[in-house]
Amino acid sequence: MKAALLQLDPIVGDLEANLARLREAAAQAVDSGADLLVGTELGLLGYPPRDLLLREGVAEACRHAAERFAEGLPPAVAALVGLPRTAGDGSLHNALALCRGGRVEGYFDKRLLPTYDVFDEHRHFTPGTGPLHFEHAGVRIGVLLCEDFWQADDVSIERAYREDPVAALAGSGCGLVVVASASPFVQGKRARQRERLRRLAGSLGAPVLAVNQVGANDELVFEGASIACDPGGALLHQAASWVEEVSVVDLDRAPIADPVPEAPESALFNALVLGVRDYCRKTGHSEVALGLSGGLDSSLVATIATAALGPGSVTGYLMPSRYSSPGSLEDARELAGRLGLQRTVELPIESLHQAARTAFPPELGEPCGITDENLQARLRGLMLMAHANQTGALVLTTGNKSELAVGYCTLYGDMCGGLSVIGDVLKTEAFSLARWLNREHARVGFDTPPIPVSSIEKPPSAELRPDQLDADSLPSYEDLDLVVALRVDQEASRERVHRESRLPSAEVDRLVDLIDRQEYKRHQAPIVLKVSPRSFGRGRPMPIASRWVPASG
């Protein structure tokens, strides 16, 4: 048997486009001799559909699309296509349609519905109880949908399900097992998933094919990297990451050598580039704009945007204030030149700043301190959003995860925008990524190292008051990022943060309080591209008005 992995990039809700692409991929696979075609989870509708599933007519339209797809298949070919389907009792299921013989022959419903991290499938779906396998071309084929197989094994949480579909397949005589997934990218996840697939193949004594969605929808990025293993767990095929691919795998072929693992910085960069590119493509934005301060974060975001969209689609705004250093302005200009940005705007905000200070109500007194600092940031945000209104460009925010964690950012200022590109990237990770980009610039498409060395090496500063440094308000980013990783990613208690960070208790209390109190800001931030196990946004829905402050927590 030859099986095809249809690793595609759907647009959520665009049934006609998704169906057309699925037909193209199926035709390509059939021309290459495939007997079995395996699509991704909810591939017809796109993942994640979220509350679009509640809209009248969506499931019915997906059923009609699957039927139209089935009509075009050759008689000897079977295909598994992901869609939501309404059962006879009115319940909605996350399903794979078995398309064969010119019709939809039956369905395989997902049994395990994740409710952790960004997933909330119990909100929409009912767990399945139907069959787990079917016969095709003389082979019994086991069918699993995403969580039926992964079972939270690739995330750091405790999750117990009442049943185990993998165990249910053991002893069933399957000669092949297929796994249809829409599994979002998280740093380090690919290696763990590959190992689990190999263990499954070895335990069942059957080849395993796992196809994964590629592309980005909203804040979620999907790597692809679909995989096929032989009965002993050896690699038969590894699809490309970050691009669509139709892979036809001969199950009788000899195993191949494992590919060289992608460097962590490479995976992170590719995920962020794909996230920006697909978000713009799927929301209809052909241009983006952002502020260029000459610092590390805006330089990194500008580099990612240029890689995603090209230098002709990125506008950089240089908006110095009286506190901006000449070096920062030169760094911003140098960055724009290295990236080849075709549009940069130099707009000093001093006159705007003075006008705003003059217009400030006398009864409130002269704006000073944090008020005056935020006034500058908000004037920059005002100009960027005006640019968006005038041109239709999408404004990218440039804050990192460390800053978002402790609120070292300004509402309606540097938080203005439609997409937070590195809001799930710690500051220490941003440093590493910038240095890697400069070392590997040719491999990622840049003629020269894109980020000025001084933007990486100079002490970070918001430059909103004289001689300001981040270190005036925050500990070293190495210490801060350890606290953020513990408190945010692992929800560690204060005691554990203190114990593992080895910071003074008073400093731990200050930072933990900052993290917890800044939730109101994060609720108003643009969506954050998710690349870590626990990002700000849908996957971490913390309360704002909360008083959870026990002595140990």
Q: What digits encode the pLDDT tens for the residues 238-270? A: 999 999 999 999 999 999 999 888 999 999 999
What pLDDT, on a 0 to 100 scale, did the predictor assign at position 550? 63
Whether the Cβ atoms of residue 216 and residue 12 lie closer than 8 Å to each other: no
Residue type, 511: L
CA distance 142 to 325: 63
In the predicted structure, residue 218 carries a pLDDT above the cut 80: yes
How confident is the model at residue 238, as a pLDDT?
Answer: 94
- Dist CA 116 CA 57 (whole Å): 28
- Judge if 2-251 and 267-466+519-528 fold alike in CATH terms: no
* Domain spanning 267-466+519-528, CATH architecture: 3-Layer(aba) Sandwich (3.40)
Percent of the chain at pLDDT > 70 equals: 98
For residue 485, the 8-state DSSP code is I
pLDDT at residue number 158:
62
Q: Could you give the CA distance from residue 27 to residue 368 in angstroms, rounded to a whole number?
A: 66
* 553: Cβ contacts below 8 Å, ≥ 6 apart: 493, 494
User: What would the 3-class secondary structure string for 105-142 be?
Assistant: EEEEECCCCCCCCCCCHHHCCCCCCCCCEEEECCEEEE
When the pLDDT of each residue in the chain is averaged and rounded to a whole number, the result is 94
Q: Is the pLDDT of residue 153 over 60?
A: yes
Strands 527-528 and 103-109: unpaired
Choosing from 99, 110, 189, 401, the catalytic residue is 110
* Cα–Cα dist 37/4, whole Å: 5
Active site residue 219: no
**d(C-alpha 499, C-alpha 379), whole Å:** 42
Q: Does residue 470 carry a pLDDT above 90?
A: no
Q: What is the CA radius of gyration of the chain?
A: 25
- The percentage of residues in the chain with a pLDDT greater than 90, rounded to a whole number, is 85
Locate 387 and state its tokens.
Answer: 């640019």
Q: Which phi and psi angles does 472 have, rounded to 5°?
A: -70, -30
CB 244 within 8 A of CB 8: yes
For residue 470, the 8-state DSSP code is: G
Q: Which residues 6+ apart lie within 8 Å of 413 measured at CB?
A: 374, 376, 377, 378, 380, 381
Q: What is the pLDDT of residues 296-344, one digit of tens each?
A: 999 999 999 999 999 999 999 999 998 888 889 999 999 999 999 989 9
> Residue 471: pLDDT above 90?
no
Integer Cα distance of 138 and 122 in angstroms: 36
List residues bridging with 7 in a β-sheet.
Answer: 245
Instruction: Say how many C-beta atoms besides its own lie within 10 A of residue 436's C-beta.
Output: 17
Residue that is written with structure tokens 């001689």 in the block = 467
Q: CB–CB of 22/69 below 8 Å? A: yes
Strands, DSSP E only, in 270-411?
Answer: 288-291, 314-318, 343-346, 394-397
Residue 152 above 90 pLDDT?
no
Q: How far apart are alpha carbons 151 and 196 in whole angstroms?
A: 11
What's the pLDDT at 233? 92
Q: Is the pLDDT of residue 156 over 60?
A: no
pLDDT value at position 415? 96
Q: Strand pairing partners for 228?
A: 209, 237
Domains of the chain: which residue ranges? Answer: 2-251, 267-466+519-528
pLDDT at 479 over 70: yes
Judged against a pLDDT cut of 70, whether residue 73 lies above it is answered with yes
Confidence of residue 171 (pLDDT cuts 50, 70, 90): confident
Residue with tokens 């995976």: 267
**CATH class of segment(s) 2-251:** alpha beta
Strand 245-250, strand 220-223: pairing: unpaired
What the block records as the tokens of 493 is: 């208690």
User: Catalytic annotation on 99?
Assistant: no
- Of the candidates 62, 99, 121, 146, the residue annotated as catalytic is 146
Annotated catalytic residue 174 = no
